[in-house]
Structure 1
Amino acid sequence: MKYLLHFVIVLVAFASCKKQPTTINDLEAGDIIFQDLDCGDFCVAINKVTEGWNGRDFSHCAIVAEENDSLFIIEAVSAGVKKTSFKEFFGKHTGNGGTVLGRVKPEYKSIAQQAAKHAFKYLGKSYDEVFDINNDKYYCSELIYETFKEANEGKEVFHLFPMTYKDPDTKEYFPIWVDYFNNLGEHIPEDEPGLNPGGISRSSYLEVTPLKL
């Protein structure tokens, strides 16, 4: 019996010593990177309506992809969906939320790998400035949603929820969003389905780890 107990203790110790991904060198295709970017009032509004993993704020997310044995980022930004080098992506200034890695749990690894491959299809697509989940344009978390959904045979991995553009303290629209949609000549899509980086970071499908840059 004591030998069995010793064996169990050794196994537990081995599992606890398993290397956790903590640096850029540990990344692999299908990983999701979350960032707390400094984009002024827009980021303040995004961060305030949804709390991210471990209470952190995240205003951007992107997926790690691989081509010719090289890793890089595919992300949706104002210029559209594009490939970004690690140097450029991780050189962005971030706030207190910093940069963290979201890696799917081992049983979903194949979905993440396929999602990274599907992400190439979106390169060159326009940025979704009105946050409409049904048009052929994409904002950062919408890109993650679509690539993983496609990889999972059309079934959601990350879930949509009613989006809000209102300050939870005042129950009024954030002025930055009022000006933004007025300039576009569009109505504010309050309660329309969507998702944001903070919400994705809290998904039960992910194991999240801070990254040392």
Structure 2
Amino acid sequence: MLIFLEAVLKCSIIKLPFLRKLSNIFSFLIIILTTTISCIKTEKFNIQNGDLLFQDLDSSPLCEGIEKVTIGFSDMKFSHIGIYTNINNEDYVLEAFDGVDTVKLDEFLNRSLNKKKQPKVVVGRLQKKYQNLIPNSLKHGMSLINLEYDEEFKIDNGKYYCSELIYEMFLISNNNEEFFELQPMTYKFKGQTLDVWKDYFEKLNKIIPENEPGINPGGISLSKKIKIIYNYQDNTY
């Protein structure tokens, strides 16, 4: 019995420092893990001049009509696009919404929210080799402020819809060579023209411009000249 007790005591003496050391290691790892998680949660996305903001608007049946007949990055639905610009150290978005104008970034982001009250906006950034086009693109875009919204979705009529504005901005800065590509537009879903488009163009007393050249937010989001870098809905990169 004495021999057994002596053995137990010896084992305890050996194990105790080891367990204390092990406990200290675990405590250190927990601190590191907690700090890392905290940093991930609080890390702020740094938006840059020329970043493209793709938005899923729910403001009208027309937005749903746009999303039904177009395809976006990762099958996301986009009905609007703007471009970020810093003006006097304040955050703005240049867009063609009710006409060409700037809007505060916060106002833009809060225009359409998901169920968790997060902005339904995804950010695309030009690939590095194209970023030299941004200053002149923004300069041209700012010169178009106060021009009317293009309700007919026609290119080169002196009016601008959202993605047409982005198209022309980079066309001009790229020495009048197409940067984002025009494609034949369609207003059909599964081979049938949507009623929302029939009603829309009937009110304008215009023929539906089926297959005429145009551009849309979803198409731009698929361009290999940009990279989708941030999703405001879940704060993911």
Whether the aligned pair in 2 keeps the contact of 1:24 and 1:211 (CA below 8 Å) is no
| Contact 2:73 2:218 (8 Å CA) reproduced | yes
Aligned to 2:100: 81
CA RMSD of aligned residues (A): 2.0
On the 8 A contact 1:141/1:197 being kept in 2, the answer is yes
2 CA distance for matches of 1:149 and 1:174?
31
* Structure 2 alignment gaps of length 5 or more: 1-42
Report the counterpart of residue 109 of structure 2 in structure 1: 90
In structure 2, distance between residues paired with 1:208 and 1:184: 35
- Give 1 or 2 for the bigger CA radius of gyration: 2
Q: Which has the higher contact order (CA 8 A, sep 6+)?
A: 1
The change in CA–CA distance for 1:55 and 1:111 in structure 2 (over 3 A counts) is: same
Verify the 8 A CA contact 1:28 1:71 in the aligned structure 2: no
Aligned length: 189
Would the aligned equivalents of 2:55 and 2:122 in 1 still touch at CA under 8 Å? yes
- Equivalent position SS for 2:125: strand
Structure with a larger share of its residues in helix: 2
Report the identity percentage.
39
The offset of 1:112, in angstroms, is 2.1
Map Cα deviations across residues 63-102 of structure 1 (whole Å, 9 max, x no partner).
112322333111101x211110012101112459921111
Partner AA of 1:89 in structure 2: F
TM-score, with normalisation over the residues of structure 2?
0.75
Shift of 1:25: 5.0
User: For residue 125 of structure 2, what is the amino acid of its counterpart?
Assistant: R
1:68 matched residue in structure 2: 88
Aligned position for 1:146 = 168
Describe the SS at the equivalent of 2:94. Answer: strand
Q: Indicate yes or no: 2:131 matched with 1:109.
A: yes
Greater CA deviation, 175-184 or 203-212?
Answer: 203-212
User: Which residue pairs with 2:188 in the alignment?
Assistant: 166
Return 5+ residue gaps in structure 1 as ranges: 1-22
